Chains A and B, each alone.
Chain A
Amino acid sequence: MDDVNVSLFDHDWNTTLYFFLLNADEHIYMRYGGRDSASPDTYLNLQSLELAAAQGLELHREYAGGQIKPAPLPRPVFPREMPLLVERTFALNKCVECHLIGDFQNLQREHDGTLDKLTHVYRSPDIKTLGIILDVPKGLVVKEARGAVQAAGMKTGDRIAALNGTPVWTFGDLQYCYDKVDRQAERIQITVDRGGQSASLSVVLPPRWWWTDVRYRLSSVEPKTYFEDRPLTDEEKRKFGLKLDGFASQVTYIPGVARMKMVKCHDLLVGDIIFAVDGKDRDPLANTADLFIKLTKQPGDAATLDVLRNGERIRMPLTTDRVNFRK
């Protein structure tokens, strides 16, 4: 990875397989790859790869014919210019793996005070949150439109052609473009090709559209809480006398390792309801206590939880942790 321009070849580094099609001017025609939280293979398919390659060759012909203007190249960045990465890998003669690029980028941002968790931790928002179900072998052809995109007029058989005006040819392009949407945005424009006609759809972004299950990733900047939870329903909140607009959540899972650590992280039990963290019981971004902690705390920070257990209100401490994985 030493000579790889990670700025030019920017992508979500937590993927197993990723392709770029580009020319000698380093103009990138398209990306192919990307995944969702379910599997690294969800959007990988030979048929769609062949479609992408054929489209890429067509774009190459258009570029040669002057029909496509080269995009401005980003300032080059090489792994050897990332101080924390060099310090912890190159300098120790250790190997640099793809996912470490993304992790050290975030560690550097955390160090510099520029880490924006919604953008840098919750990468590659899931298009299914918008209601887009792709017919994967056919690339960006819509198999089913639900939720937000259905409300905007997307239909089965549409081919997604652009997002916010940027042409997309593959799921990799779409995911990359979607990832660049400002996390404060309230809507996006999706252009579809429908039977040879172009249609522009204004899609209202649902609450927490940017959230995606990142448990499969290794992220040093996300505080480990050693529990998982689910948001309470409104009915449950009423039943327990909790605020309807609060992030009260019920603990659903505690990993065994939480009990094995020398320093106890918490005393939570499955079934506990966490209704406040550090005295706060609501947040515009979080709909669970775990998400609130992940968004507002740094690894190693402590918090005080207000917990409902068998009808009794308990206050207990929690200590978050920093993930350490082989580097």
Chain B
Amino acid sequence: MHHKFVGSLCVLACLARLAAAPMPAQDDSVKWLNNYQAALRQAKQTHKPIFLEFRCEA
């Protein structure tokens, strides 16, 4: 179980990670976002697709 948000928002158990950038083949510095709306905004601004991950470790 993963708590993506700390503090009082600890209802998030499944890790949903988003990257508003194409996956570069050799770059290990992919910056993941953890806010879907922010990813949508960034995708709109940059005209890039979103790569969204659901991970359930339960």
Contact = CB atoms under 8 A, between A and B. Distances in A.
Contacts of A13: 56
Contact of B40 (A2, A26, A93): A26
Contact size class for B?
Answer: 20 to 34
A53 B23 CA distance: 8
Interface in A49-81: 50, 53, 56-57, 60, 64
A19 B56 contact: no
Interface residues of A, number: 34
A90 interface: yes
A270 interface: no
Given A56-B49, A98-B58, A2 B12 contact: yes
B53 A18 contact: yes
B36 A96 contact: no
Contact of B53 (A17, A23, A95): A17
A24 B50 contact: yes
Contacts of B27: none
Interface of B is mostly: loop
Contacts of A95: 1, 3, 10-13
B58 A97 contact: yes
Nearest to A98: B56
A24 B51 contact: no
A89 B12 CA distance: 11
B53 to A, nearest CB: 5
Interface string B3-19: 10000011111101000
Given A60-B49, A95-B3, A1 B16 contact: yes
B28 interface: no
B49 A97 contact: no
B22 A97 contact: no
Contacts of B40: 24, 26
Contacts of B1: 95, 97
B58 A29 contact: no
In the complex, which of the residues B9, B56, B58 has the most CB atoms of chain A within 10 Å of its own CB atom?
Answer: B56
Nearest to B3: A95
Contacts of B11: 1-2, 89-90, 93, 95-96
Contacts, number: 89
B51 A97 contact: no
Contacts of B49: 21-23, 29, 56-57, 60
A97 B11 CA distance: 9
A22 B52 contact: yes
A294 interface: no
B32 to A, nearest CB: 12
Interface in A1-54: 1-4, 9, 11, 13, 15-24, 26, 29, 33, 50, 53
Contacts of A93: 11
Given A1-B11, A24-B44, A56-B49, A97 B36 contact: no
Contacts of B10: 95
A4 B14 CA distance: 10
A162 B6 CA distance: 42
A57 B55 CA distance: 22
Contact of A99 (B37, B47, B56): B56
A26 B23 CA distance: 18
B55 to A, nearest CB: 5
B58 A19 contact: no
Given A2-B11, A57-B22, A97 B56 contact: yes
A3 B25 CA distance: 30
Contacts of A89: 11
Given A18-B54, A56-B49, A57-B49, 4 more contacts: A21-B52, A50-B25, A95-B12, A98-B13
